Amino acid sequence: SDPDLVARARAAKAALGDSVFVLGHHYQRDEVIEFADVTGDSFKLARDAAARPDAPYIVFCGVHFMAESADILTSAEQTVILPDLAAGCSMADMAAIAQVEDCWEQLEAAGVAGRTVPVTYMNSSAAIKAFTGRHGGTICTSSNARTALDWAFEQVGGLEGDGKVLFLPDQHLGRNTAVRELGLTLDDCVVWDPHRPGGGLTAQQLADARMILWRGHCSVHGRFSVEAVETARREIPGVKVIVHPECRYEVVERADEVGSTEKIIQTIAAAPDGTSWVVGTELNLVRRLAAQFPKQRIAFLEKNVCYCSTMNRIDLPHLVWALESLVEGRVVNPIRVDPQVAADARSALDRMLALPG
């Protein structure tokens, strides 16, 4: 990266000292990660933000929903800054609050809302998290989806009963967790399509379902294919395939390991030297893993380049701008969630943080 910008970022961070805390998601560029005080997956970063009550400014190098969650979990005196407001998430955008409210009304009309608990992936807007809080549900991340689903089913009579989970907005994480970890079947899962009347489901399908999966997905992880897994197995003898649970069910089924970004890193770090891996997650992380663990052979699961374009919006120029502005006494791009929305969302986030494990 540009040495002038690197020097400016260093100088600004030194001038700000402990008044600023920089969080970096694993999918961020190397040039940004270099200035992160901590790195992590979305679960770890939410906890890390909450654990820093003394820092008046939190600069969040990640995407908008993560910065919102950090704002909700930190005190009113702290300000969360997102260096580029265009760093959104296409998956989070697939569930608009009006669509979700409409879905819930239809579940009420169908007589199933009373035995349904919403479980919402971290990758969602604050408004959807607030909806989840208002209806007694919890947030989950890819690290604790199983625990969150166990908890949710307990609220409606356990796995053996006829209670349901409305899982938002990533159908793949919901399906993969329910089928592979809870022992539900693919037939127990239905997909609610917000663009079709009644979600595209019949009353019978809705009545029989255990998991109502929102029709959302990650545009990055959704691209990994069964063919790519098969090609890797053909081309690399003894290869281990590790993928993120946002990948499609067929892909996850054919992988050796599945886990959040944090789990992917730990698994590769713990593997014996000389192990070959192909990794199905965002490319910045895969490249960093390859550089960090030169004794492993680490390759990307797709032949094509596949960055998360919105994660990549946060680059060194934006970070320098955010930090230097603070040095000059100006706050740029603060993320401030409406207090009522934040209070409702907080109840759902607190339920997640109280989950065992």
Annotated binding site for iminosuccinate: 25, 42, 121-123, 142, 244-246, 261
Rule CB under 6 A: which of 289-308 touch ligand SF4? 308
Structure token pair of residue 41: 């997956």
* Residue 67 lies near ligand SF4 (rule: CB under 6 A): no
Residues linked to residue 211 through DSSP beta bridges, in sequence order: 165, 189
CB 257 within 8 A of CB 242: yes
28 binds, among ligand 13P, ligand SF4, none (CB under 5 to 8 A by kind): none
Q: Which is nearer to ligand SF4, 78 or 310 (CB)?
A: 310
Q: Which stretch binds ligand 13P (CB under 6 A): 5-13, 38-46, 199-207, 232-240?
A: 38-46
Known binding-site residue numbers for [4Fe-4S] cluster: 89, 218, 308
276 binds, among ligand SF4, ligand 13P, none (CB under 5 to 8 A by kind): none
Residues 6+ apart with CB under 8 A from 310: 63, 86, 87, 88, 89, 90
* Residue 261 lies near ligand 13P (rule: CB under 6 A): yes
142 binds, among ligand 13P, ligand SF4, none (CB under 5 to 8 A by kind): ligand 13P
* Residue 265 lies near ligand 13P (rule: CB under 6 A): no
Position among 260, 267, 296, 333 found at the interface with ligand 13P (CB under 6 A): 260
Cβ 246 to ligand 13P shortest distance, Å = 6
CB 174 within 8 A of CB 189: yes
- Can you tell me the distance from the alpha carbon of 24 to that of 83, in angstroms, rounded to the nearest whole number? 12
* Residue 140 lies near ligand SF4 (rule: CB under 6 A): no
- Can you tell me the distance from the alpha carbon of 322 to that of 9, in angstroms, rounded to the nearest whole number? 10
Range list of H helices, 39-135? 42-50, 64-73, 97-109, 126-134
CB 82 within 8 A of CB 32: no
Q: Which is nearer to ligand 13P, 116 or 143 (CB)?
A: 143
Please, what is the Cα angle at 106 between 105 and 111, to 5 degrees?
100
* Omega before 334 within 30 of 0, i.e. cis: no
Q: How many residues bind ligand 13P (CB under 6 A)?
A: 11
* Omega before 83 within 30 of 0, i.e. cis: no
* Residue 312 lies near ligand SF4 (rule: CB under 6 A): no
CB 61 within 8 A of CB 140: no
Annotate each residue in 106-145 with x if it binds ligand 13P (CB under 6 A) or - if it does not, as one string: -----------------x-----------------xx---
Cβ 53 to ligand 13P shortest distance, Å = 23
- Can you tell me the distance from the alpha carbon of 165 to that of 39, in angstroms, rounded to the nearest whole number? 31
CB 334 within 8 A of CB 81: yes
Q: Which residues form the interface with ligand 13P (CB under 6 A)?
A: 41-43, 89, 123, 141-142, 218, 246, 260-261
Q: Which residues form the interface with ligand SF4 (CB under 6 A)?
A: 27, 63, 89-91, 123, 218-220, 282, 308, 310-311
